[in-house]
A and B are shown apart, each in its own frame.
Chain A
Amino acid sequence: MNDKTNRPIYLDYSATTPIDERVVAEMIKYMGPEATFGNPASRSHSYGWTAEAATEDARQHVADLVGADPREIVFTSGATESDNLAIKGSAHFNQKRGKHIITCKTEHKAVLDSCRQLEREGYEVTYLDPEKNGLVDLEKLKAAMRDDTTLVSIMHVNNEIGVIQDIEAIGNACRERKIIFHVDAAQSAGKVPIDLANLPVDLMSFSAHKIYGPKGMGALYVQRKPRIRLEAQMHGGGHERGMRSGTLATHQIVGMGEAFRIAKQEMAMENERLINLRNQLWDGLKDMEEVYINGDFEQRVAGNLNISFNYVEGESLLMALKDLAISSGSACTSASLEPSYVLRALGRNDELAHSSIRFSMGRYTTSTDIETTIAHVRSAVEKLRDLSPLWDMFKDGIDIDSIEWAAH
C-alpha cells in the first residue's frame, strides 16, 4: 500500500476485506508457470493429486474453524451461491413434505431473492419482522411454523447492523418441529465462535472474502448426521460429492483455507481490539445530538457500528465523507438510493434509515484511523445540519412529523 496517505480510510470491511498477505503467500504457491498447478479432478497424474491434496487441506481448515467434519464442507463460488444452494436445494428436495419456508425481512438479498424465486415456483414464504433491536423473536418464529414448513433460514450476523441472532435457540425450535435450519454465516465466521458439532444447525453458508480470503470463493456446510439432502443447483462432472459441479479453483480454495486457519488462531485477540475501536468510535460520536445506533449494541459483532444521523441526508453525508470508504448499507444494494430495507424492517422511519452510515472495522483499522474518522464525521454532520432547514425547525422546537406539506 504505497499511496496509503492519499487513500480514503477503509471502513467497509463488511462489504469486503483485503486479502491477508499470509493468505496471498499460500495462494501464489498454486499460481503461475513455476508454481504447483493442476486440475484437482485429474486422476491420472501427480499434478491433479497435488492440487486435490491442497484442496483437502483447505477443507480441513475451513471445517476446523466452525467445528465441522471436512466431509460436511461443500466449496462454492461464494456465499451467494451457498445461500442459493441451501435454500433452493433443500426446498426442492423436500417439496413433497411441504412448500413453506420461514425467513426474516433483514436477511441478505441472496436469501431473500432465493425465497422470492421459490415463491414464483409456487412455494409460500413467511418473512418475519425483526424486533426493534434487529433480533428475531423466538415466539413469533415458533408461531409461524406450520406442518408444511420445511426450512427456516435466519442469518447469524446481519451485514448492515451487525446484530448476532441466537441461532442455538432458533435451531432448537426447528429441531422440535423437524424443520431444516439454514444459517447465513457470511458475516460471522471468523468473528463469532461457531461450533457446529454442538449447534442445532443443518446448513450454513460461508464466504472467504469477508474474512481476508479471496473473492469468488465460499462454502456450504451440509450436516452429515443426520444427513441433510439437497438438490444440486449446478450440474456437470459431479464435483463436491455431486452437490456442486465445476472445476474447483485450487488457489482460491487454498486461500479460503488459510484465511479460516488464521481466523481460528487470531479471532479472540482481534475481537478484543475491534471492540475497543468500536467503543472509541461511539465514544467520539455519542455526545452529538440526534444520533442513534441501529441494532442491538450488546448482541453485536465486534467490528460493526451502524449509526443514524438525524436531519442529515445519507447520500450527502457519504459525499461529504469522501476521505472515508464507508457505505450506507449493503454493497450489493448500494447502487440503489432506496433507504435500507434492513433499517426499515426495524421500524426506523425513512428519514432515519436514509441518514444511516455503516462503519465496519477490521484487521488493518488503527486507532488513528478512528480518531480521523470521528473528526471528519463530526465536522461533516455539523456542516450539513447548518444547511438544513429541517434541522433549524428541529432546533426551534417544531415537531416535523406534525407538518402538513403542501401537495405538488
Chain B
Amino acid sequence: MAVYFDHNATTPLHEKVLEAMLPYMGSVCGNPSSLHRFGRLQRQAIEQAREQVAALMGAQTSQVIFTSGGTEANNLMLKGLSADASVQRIAVSEIEHMSLLEPAAKVACAVDRIAVNEQGLVTQESLKQAIQKDTALVSVMAANNETGAIQDIEKLAEVARESGTWFHSDVSQIAGKLAFSFEQTGVHAMTLSSHKFYGPMGAGALIVDKCLPMHSLLQGGSQEKGLRAGTENVAAIVGFGMAAELAAQELLERGDHVKVLRDALEKELMKFAVVKVFSQEIKRLPNTLQFGVQGFDGETLLMELDRRGFAVSSGSACTSGKTEPSHVLKAMAVSNDLATSAIRVSLGRTNTMAEVERFIEAMQQILGIKNSAVMMAANL
C-alpha cells in the first residue's frame, strides 16, 4: 500500500477505538430509546462518550449534540440557527470548508463574507468590518483543512462578544491535534468530526451554548435534546468518545511527532526554488504542509506521487475531483497557476521519518525530470 499522507481527509481507526466499538457491533444490542435493559446499556454508552468528548474540548456534557458527522453539524449550526426568526444576518469566513459555505448559501438570512489576508488569517480588523449591527452569528474555522492555518479564535471570539454576536468555530481539523477549549476560547458553538482524529466515520458533534435559539434540521424523535432526531449511531458515538479520550491523553506526543516530520519535510522542500509553502508565516497545524510548485500542474504531481507510492491530495477531499483552484488559496490571493499546482501533505501518528525521506526523494525525481525536460527543450 502507498504511504498515507492524507490524514486531514480521514484517519485510520485507532486500535483502541476499534476495541471500544466492537461490543456495540456485536453482543451489546438495543435501541437507546428503549426502556428495557438492552436500551439502557446503549443510553449509558452514549452518555459516557458525551463526557469524553466534552472533556477533550473543555465543554459541558449538556452542550454536546451528536450528529452523523462534521457536515451535519455545520448544516445544523447555520440552518438550525437561521431558522429562528430573530436571526437576520450571519457572516462566514472565505476559507471555510464546503460543509459550511454551501449551507451558508442556502440559509434564508443575509450572509456576509469575512476576508482573510495573504497568509490566510482572519484579523480582528477584518472581522470587525464584516460584523454589522444585526449580525447574529459569525463563523471562523479554528484551523484550515488545506493550509493548516490556525486562527486566533480567542481574540476573534472576543471581538464577536463585544459586538453582541455569537461565535461558531469549525474545529474539525484542530481537535485532537492541538489543545483547544470551548470554555477558554469563549466560543458559543463548535463543530467536531470523529474521523479526523482516529475515530470512526459517521459521528460528529455540534457543541453549542444553550443560549442559542437552535432549531432541529431532522424531524421525527426527541433524541439529542430534540435537536437531532433519529436512532443514535451508538457504536460510532462510542468510538468517537474513545478517540477523544485517547487524543486528550496523547495530544502533546502526537503533535510533537508530526511536527518533527513536517518541519524536516518543509526544510528539504524549501531547497527547491519553485516550491512555495502556503501560510508559512503564521501558526499552522503541526501535521499539515500545503505547497505550490511553480510551473507544475497539480494533477500531474498527484499522479506522479501516486505512481511512486504516496497518497496525498491537492486540498480538501470533498472537493477533489474538481480541477478548479481551491477557494481557500484564491481567498489568499494566490495566483491561479500556483494554486492549481498545490499539494497538501497531512501527516499522522503512524508516519515515520523514513517515509518523509522517501517522499523527498520522490519529489526530487519528479521536479528533476521536469527541469531536465525544460532544459532539453531550451537546448533544442
Query: Which A residues contact B (CB, under 8 angstroms)?
Result: 1-2, 7-8, 10, 12, 15-19, 21, 24, 27-28, 31-33, 35, 37-39, 41-48, 77-81, 83-84, 108-114, 116-117, 209, 214-217, 233-239, 245-252, 318, 322, 324-327, 331-332, 334-335
B357 is an interface residue with CB less than 8 A from chain A: no
A37 pairs with B12, CB closer than 8 A: yes
Instruction: Assess whether A32 is in contact with B12, with CB atoms less than 8 Å apart.
Output: yes
In the A-B complex, list the 4 residue pairs whose CB atoms are closest, starting with the nearest.
A216-B233, A110-B220, A236-B99, A249-B202
Among the stretches B57-65, B66-74, B264-272, the one at the interface with A is B66-74
The answer to whether A233 touches B69, judged by C-beta atoms less than 8 angstroms apart, is no
Counting chain B CB atoms within 10 Å of each CB, which of A21, A39, A237 scores highest? A39
* Given A80-B218, A116-B219, A216-B233, 8 other A-B residues pairs in contact with their CB atoms under 8 A: A28-B18, A41-B320, A44-B6, A45-B312, A215-B231, A215-B233, A247-B70, A251-B200
- Name B5's closest neighbour in chain A (CB-CB): A45
**A80 with B220: in contact, given A236-B102, A237-B319, A252-B202 (CB under 8 Å)?**
yes
**Of residues B9, B193, B219, B223, which shows the largest number of chain A Cβ atoms within 10 Å of its Cβ?**
B219
Q: Please measure, in the bound complex, the distance between the C-alpha atom of A27 and the C-alpha atom of B22, giving whole angstroms.
A: 10
Contacts of B234 in A (CB 8 A): 215
Q: Are B317 and A48 in contact (CB under 8 A)?
A: yes
Question: How far apart sit A387 and B319, CA to CA, in the bound complex (Å)?
Answer: 66
Partner of A83, one of B220, B302, B317: B220
B236 within 8 A of A: yes
* Residue numbers in A under 8 Å from B1 (CB-CB): 46-47
Question: Complex: how many Å from CA A209 to CA B34?
Answer: 14
Question: What chain A residues lie within 8 Å of B12 (beta carbons)?
Answer: 32-33, 35, 37
Question: In the bound complex, what is the Cα–Cα distance between A78 and B235 (angstroms)?
Answer: 14
Task: Decide if B34 touches A45 in the complex (CB within 8 Å).
Answer: no
B2 within 8 A of A: yes
The answer for the CA separation of A380 and B252 in the assembled complex, in Å, is 58
Q: Is the CB of A245 within 8 A of B71?
A: yes
> When chains A and B are docked, how far (Å) is the Cα of A83 from the Cα of B217?
12
Q: A12-B31, A109-B220 are in contact. Are A235 and B37 (CB under 8 A)?
A: no
Q: Give the shortest distance, in Å, between B75 (CB) and chain A (any CB).
A: 5
Are A318 and B35 neighbours in the complex by a CB distance under 8 Å?
Answer: yes
Q: Are B15 and A32 interface neighbours, CB within 8 A?
A: yes
CB of A12 within 8 A of CB of B38, answer yes
Structural contact, A84 and B202, CB atoms closer than 8 A:
no
Point out the residues of chain A lying under 8 angstroms from B22, CB to CB.
24
Residue of A nearest to B8 (CB): A39
In the assembled complex, the CB of A123 is this many whole angstroms from the nearest CB of chain B, namely 13
A77 and B313 form a contact (CB under 8 A): no
Q: Which residue of A42, A47, A236, A335 is within 8 Å of B101 (Cβ)?
A: A236
CB of B159 within 8 Å of the partner chain: no
Given contacts A42-B317, A78-B231, A215-B231, contact A246 B72 (CB under 8 A): yes
Query: Residue B230 at the A interface, CB < 8 A?
Result: yes
Q: Shortest distance in angstroms between B293's beta carbon and chain A's nearest beta carbon?
A: 15
Given A37-B13, A80-B230, verify A19-B29 contact (CB < 8 Å).
yes
* Contacts A1-B27, A237-B318, A318-B35 given; does A112 touch B220 at CB 8 Å: yes
With contacts A33-B12, A47-B2, A237-B99 taken as known, whether A114 is within 8 angstroms of B220 at the C-beta atoms is: yes
Considering the complex, give the chain B residue whose CB is closest to the CB of A209. B231
Given contacts A214-B235, A325-B38, contact A236 B321 (CB under 8 A): no
Among A31, A238, A324, A332, the residue within 8 A (CB) of B221 is A332
A108 to B220, CA, bound (A): 8
Cβ–Cβ < 8 Å partners of A214 in chain B: 25, 233, 235
Contact A331 B33 (CB under 8 A): yes
| B98 contacts chain A at the CB level, 8 A cutoff | yes
Contacts of A335 in B (CB 8 A): 33, 35, 222
Min distance, Cβ B334 to any Cβ of chain A, angstroms: 19
Bitwise interface map of B from 96 to 130 toward A, beta carbon under 8 Å scored 1, else 0: 01111111011000000000000000000000000
**Do most interface residues of chain A lie in helix, strand or loop, or is the interface mixed?**
loop
Q: Given A42-B6, A48-B317, A332-B220, answer yes or no on A235-B75 (Cβ-Cβ < 8 Å).
A: yes
Q: Which residues of A contact B25 (CB under 8 A)?
A: 19, 24, 27, 214
Assess the A44–B231 pair: CB atoms within 8 A: no
Q: Are A84 and B218 in contact (CB under 8 A)?
A: yes
B330: which A residues are within 8 A, CB to CB?
A: none
Inter-chain contacts of B39 with A (CB < 8 A): 15, 325, 331
- Report the Cα distance A318→B318, complex, angstroms: 48
Which residue of chain A lies nearest to B29 when distances are taken between CB atoms in the complex? Answer: A18
* Contact between chains at A15 and B13 (CB < 8 Å): no
Cβ contacts under 8 Å, A19 to chain B? 25-26, 29
- Residue of chain B at shortest CB distance from A21: B26
Q: Name the B residues within 8 Å of A325 (CB-CB).
A: 30, 34, 36-39
Q: How far is the CA of A117 from the CA of B79 in the complex (A)?
A: 14
Inter-chain contacts of B105 with A (CB < 8 A): 235
A17-B29, A31-B18, A84-B219 given; A248·B313 CB < 8 A: no
The CA-CA distance from A332 to B32 in the complex, in Å, is 9
A80, B102: Cβ atoms closer than 8 Å: no
Nearest chain A CB to B108 CB, angstrom units: 11
Kindly report which residue of chain A lies nearest to residue B30, judged by CB atoms.
A16
- Considering the complex, give the chain B residue whose CB is closest to the CB of A116: B219
Contacts of A21 in B (CB 8 A): 26
Minimum CB–CB distance from B20 to chain A (whole Å) comes to 11
30 A-B contacts (beta carbon < 8 Å): A1-B27, A8-B38, A16-B31, A32-B15, A33-B12, A37-B12, A42-B311, A42-B313, A43-B321, A44-B320, A45-B306, A45-B312, A47-B2, A77-B202, A81-B230, A116-B219, A216-B68, A217-B233, A233-B217, A234-B71, A236-B75, A246-B72, A246-B99, A251-B201, A252-B201, A322-B37, A332-B222, A332-B223, A334-B35, A335-B222
- Chain B residues lying within 8 Å of A237, measured Cβ to Cβ, are 71, 98-99, 102, 318-319
Which residues of chain B from 222 to 263 have a CB within 8 Å of any chain A CB?
A: 222-223, 229-236
Is B10's CB within 8 Å of the partner chain A?
yes
Q: Does B276 contact A (CB under 8 A)?
A: no
Please indicate the chain A residues that have their CB under 8 angstroms from the CB of B327 in the complex.
Answer: none
User: Nearest residue in B to A324 (C-beta to C-beta)?
Assistant: B36
- Contact: A111 with B220, CB < 8 Å? yes
Distance between B36 CB and nearest chain A CB, rounded to angstroms: 4
A336 vs B124: C-alpha distance in the bound complex, in angstroms?
49
- Which chain A residues lie closer than 8 Å to B310 at the CB level? 45
| CA of A195 to CA of B25, assembled, Å | 30
**One of A42, A113, A247, A322 near B320 (C-beta < 8 A):** A42
A246 adjacent to B71 (CB under 8 Å): yes
| B194 CB, nearest partner CB in chain A, Å | 10
What is the bound-complex CA distance between A326 and B38, given in angstroms? 10
Tell yes or no: B14 within 8 A of A by CB. Answer: yes
CB of B195 closer than 8 Å to a CB of A: yes
The reply to whether the CB of B335 lies closer than 8 angstroms to some CB of chain A is no
B128 to chain A, nearest CB (A): 27
Q: Contact at B102–A15, with CB atoms within 8 Å?
A: no
Chain B residues with CB under 8 Å of A334's CB are: 33-35
